[in-house]
Amino acid sequence: MESPVVHKVSVFVLLLSFLTVSRSSSAFARFWKQEAGIRLYNGSPSVTFDPTRAIQLSWRPRAFIYKGFLSDEECDHLIKLAKGKLEKSMVADNDSGKSLESEVRTSSGMFLDKGQDEIVAGIEARIAAWTFLPEENGEAMQILHYEHGQKYEPHFDYFHDKANLELGGHRLATVLMYLSNVKKGGETVFPNSEMKNAQLKNGNLSECAKRGYAVKPYKGDALLFFSLHPDSTTDESSLHGSCPVIEGEKWSATKWIHVRSFNELRTLDEACVDENENCPGWAAMGECEKNPSYMVGHGNTFGYCRKSCRVCSS
C-alpha cells in the first residue's frame, strides 16, 4: 500500500522535473497570464486557457473536470474530421502489446495526426498547459464514437507489456474530451475511486454508472485523470470504463500522455542517461534511495536519473 507520507524533497523533484521538461520542450507553448486566463502562443493564432475552471473530483485517482474546455465549434470540427474514417476500436494485448478486437470495447474510432490543423494544434497546446506535460509526450488524439449499447469495460490506461513501455513508457495521464451530449448512459465510471460511495446515485445515472464514481458526458467538458501515483507507481484506483449508451450517441476525443517522449523508441541499452540536468544533485541528496521509482525506475519502466544513480553503464 502506498504510504500517505511522501518525502518533501521527492515531491519537489517530481514537480521540478515536470516543469523543467515542459520548459525545455520546443513543442510546448509559451504562455503567460492575461485577463481571465492564460494566453497560449504555439506558432498559431493564440487561444485562451483558464485554469480556474478546472475542478478537482478526487485524489484517488487524481481526477479533474474542466467545464467548457472545448467550444461547440471545436467539438463539431473534431467529429467532422473523424466521420467516414471510423474503424472498430481495438485493445492492447497484455502480453504482446498488439492491438486486438475484443467485446470488452465495442466503439469505433480513428486517430488524427498530431497538429493536423490549426484547431487540433490549439487543443493540443491547451492540454499541454493544463497538464504541465510536453506535447511530444502525447499520442495522437483519438476520436471515438459510441452508438446504442456500445461500451468500454473497466480497464487501466497504463501498460502491462514490455513492447508498449519501450515507446514513451507508461501512460501517465489521460485527457478525455466529450464532443457531444448523451441523453442517457455513456458515463465515464471509476469503480475503484475513493469517492464512489460519496456520490449521490440518483435517476440521472445509469445502473453501470452507479457501480463507481461517475462523470456524465457534457459537450465541451474535459476529464483529466492520472494513471500513475506521484512516485510513478501504477494507480489501481484509476480503473475506468465507458458505460453503455442507452439513449442517443456519444462522441469523445482521447489524449493519452506518457512519462517521456512518445516519438522516441528506447531500449534498455540506450537508457543509461540522465533526463534532467538536476540529476547529479538529486542523486547526491539521496533521492536514488528515497524515490527509486522516479530516479531509477522499476520493472520495465525507465527512471529519469539512471546514470547519476549508477545503475547502468554508458
Helix axes 72-82, 118-131, angle to 10 degrees: 120
Asked whether residue 309 is domain-assigned, the answer is: no
Residue 57 lies in a domain: yes
Give per-residue pLDDT as tens, 42-58. Answer: 544 455 678 788 999 99
Same domain, 120 and 208: yes
On whether both 17 and 145 belong to a single domain, the answer is yes
Query: Is residue 313 domain-resident?
Result: no
Same-domain pairing of 253 and 180: yes
Domain assignment present for 171: yes
Q: List the Cα angle 241/174/309 in 5-degree steps.
A: 125
Domain hosting residue 289, numbered range: 268-302
Least confident of 193-202, 217-226, 241-250: 193-202
Count of domains forming the chain: 2
Higher-pLDDT residue of 18, 234: 234
Q: Is residue 145 predicted with pLDDT exceeding 60?
A: yes
Give yes or no: residues 155 and 283 share one domain.
no
Cell triple for 232: 510513478
Residues 6+ apart with CB under 8 A from 101: 88, 90, 91
Place of cell 495526426: 113
* Residue whose entry in the numeric block shows the C-alpha cell 544513480: 309
Kindly report the number of other CB atoms within 10 A of residue 180's CB atom.
19
Question: What are 307's three cell numbers?
Answer: 546514470
pLDDT in tens, 66-101: 999 999 999 999 999 999 998 877 655 555 545 556
In a domain, 219, yes or no: yes
pLDDT at 23: 36
* For range 249-276, the mean pLDDT: 79
| CATH code at position 142 | 2.60.120.620
Are 290 and 203 found together in one domain? no
Q: How confident is the model at residue 35 (pLDDT cuts 50, 70, 90)?
A: very low
Do residues 215 and 284 both lie within one domain? no
Lowest mean pLDDT among 84-88, 95-99, 214-218, 287-291: 95-99
HSE-CB for 262 with a 13 A CA cutoff = 20
Q: Hey, what's the cell of 46? A: 493564440
Q: Answer whether residue 283 is part of any domain.
A: yes
> What local confidence, expressed as pLDDT, does residue 38 receive?
59
Same domain, 280 and 248: no
3 within some domain: no
| Ordered alpha helix ranges (H), 34-167 | 72-82, 118-131, 162-165
Q: Are residues 78 and 146 in the same domain?
A: yes
Phi, psi of 248 (to 5 degrees): 95, -155
167 three-class SS: strand
Question: Identity (one letter) of the amino acid at 294?
Answer: Y
Tens of pLDDT, residue by residue over 91-138, are: 555 555 455 566 677 788 999 999 999 999 999 999 999 999 999 999
Q: What pLDDT does residue 161 have?
A: 66
Residue-averaged pLDDT of the chain: 81
Are 93 and 31 part of one and the same domain?
yes
pLDDT over 50 at 20, yes or no: no
Q: Are residues 117 and 34 located together in one domain of the fold?
A: yes
Kindly state whether residue 308 falls inside one of the protein's structural domains: no
Instruction: Give the residue ranges of DSSP H helices in 226-274.
Output: none
Whether residue 232 is found in the same domain as residue 274: no
Residues 12 and 155 occupy one common structural domain: yes
